[in-house]
């Protein structure tokens, strides 16, 4: 399973374009892996998680053919994760020589925003799929299970477990400490990898709400091992970093290295 991280920042990007804090200033000075766009990732070049406002730029930067994406799994409708209006650029007469519709999956809010933005073109270049937590579906040649996230009490935000090519991955953000029903479902799943939220730096909490911090990620890693959620050789990746974490890329690397947790960066490609 190929994982391609397109963006690894929280909602405001890193650096925040409006911010003059020392961490944004330092990120601009250092460049490289410290420059982070809004979060998204692609699996095996055909399944995309979320469609951030930075998707167009990310595709140009990493030479991604968005026309080849067959399935779009949306976690929730916050503006940094789902820019539905941009998808109109895929419609007939605007994009040419496409061989398949884009299948869009998500909660009720995702379906509503998608219908408002591009609903008049459904069946031509798009297909909409309403999801329910814990109901496994077939997505091409993959099996996908949406699970409850702890992120926004006004929306049924989702994280996903995807099974493809003999590998199993948890796409686990945006979320704080997972709801009990999600932990119960994950128990004994022996995943090959997990992608977790690390919006915050150190907060002194091990069960953060809405987003995870460093302590919550490490506590989740312990829970993964205790409940056989992740294989012994399974890998944890952290992403969705905020400049308010007050940490730059190499500082995150130094913090997580002893635990074997991989700090994602924009454009990173790994294989499970």
CATH label of the domain that carries residue 9:
3.60.15.10
- Count the Cβ atoms, other than its own, within 10 Å of residue 226: 9
Residue ranges making up the domain that contains 108:
2-266
Contact residues for 64 (Cβ-Cβ < 8 A; gap 6+): 4, 6, 42, 58
Residue 182 lies inside a defined structural domain of this protein: yes
The per-residue pLDDT for 42 is 98
Stretches in the chain below the pLDDT threshold 50: none
Bridge pairing between strands 262-263 and 269-271: unpaired
What spatial distance separates the first Cα and last Cα of the chain, rounded to whole Å?
A: 5
SS3 percent helix, strand, coil of the chain, rounded to 5, is 30, 30, 40
Residue 68 lies inside a defined structural domain of this protein: yes
The per-residue pLDDT for 32 is 98
Task: With CA atoms as reference, report the closest residue to 35 among 235, 224, 241, 206.
Answer: 241
79, two tokens: 């503006």
The per-residue pLDDT for 124 is 82
The per-residue pLDDT for 178 is 98
Residue 271 lies inside a defined structural domain of this protein: no
> Does residue 36 contact residue 13 with C-beta atoms inside 8 Å?
yes
Q: What SS3 state is found at 165?
A: coil
> Does residue 76 contact residue 101 with C-beta atoms inside 8 Å?
no
The tally of domains found in the chain comes to: 1
| Rounded Cα–Cα distance for residues 94 and 100 (Å) | 15
Residue 154 lies inside a defined structural domain of this protein: yes
| Rounded Cα–Cα distance for residues 54 and 52 (Å) | 5
Task: With CA atoms as reference, report the closest residue to 94 among 71, 60, 118, 58.
Answer: 118
The per-residue pLDDT for 269 is 98
């Amino acid at each position: 399973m190929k994982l391609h991280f397109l963006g690894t920042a929280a909602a405001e990007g890193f650096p925040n374009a409006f911010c003059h804090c020392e961490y944004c200033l330092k990120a601009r000075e250092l460049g490289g892996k410290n420059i982070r766009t809004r979060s998204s990732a692609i699996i095996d070049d055909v399944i995309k998680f979320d469609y951030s406002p930075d998707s167009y730029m990310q595709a140009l930067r990493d030479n991604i053919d968005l026309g080849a994406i067959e399935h779009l799994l949306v976690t929730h409708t916050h503006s940094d994760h789902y820019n539905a209006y941009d998808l109109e650029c895929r419609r007939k007469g605007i994009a040419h020589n496409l061989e398949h519709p884009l299948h869009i999956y998500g909660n009720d809010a995702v379906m509503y925003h998608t219908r408002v933005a591009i609903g008049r073109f459904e069946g031509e270049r798009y297909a909409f799929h309403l999801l329910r937590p814990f109901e496994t579906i077939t997505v091409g040649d993959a099996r996908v299970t949406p699970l409850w996230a702890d992120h926004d009490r006004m929306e049924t935000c989702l994280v996903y477990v995807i099974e493809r090519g003999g590998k199993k991955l948890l796409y686990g953000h945006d979320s704080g400490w997972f709801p009990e029903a999600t932990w119960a479902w994950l128990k004994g799943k022996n995943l090959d990898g997990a992608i977790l939220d690390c919006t915050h730096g150190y907060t002194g909490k091990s069960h953060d709400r809405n987003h995870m911090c460093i302590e919550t990620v490490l506590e989740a890693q312990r829970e993964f091992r205790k409940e056989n959620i992740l294989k012994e050789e399974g890998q944890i990746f952290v992403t969705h970093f905020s400049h308010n974490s007050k940490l730059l890329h190499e500082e995150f690397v130094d913090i997580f290295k002893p635990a074997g947790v991989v700090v994602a960066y924009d454009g990173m490609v790994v294989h499970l």
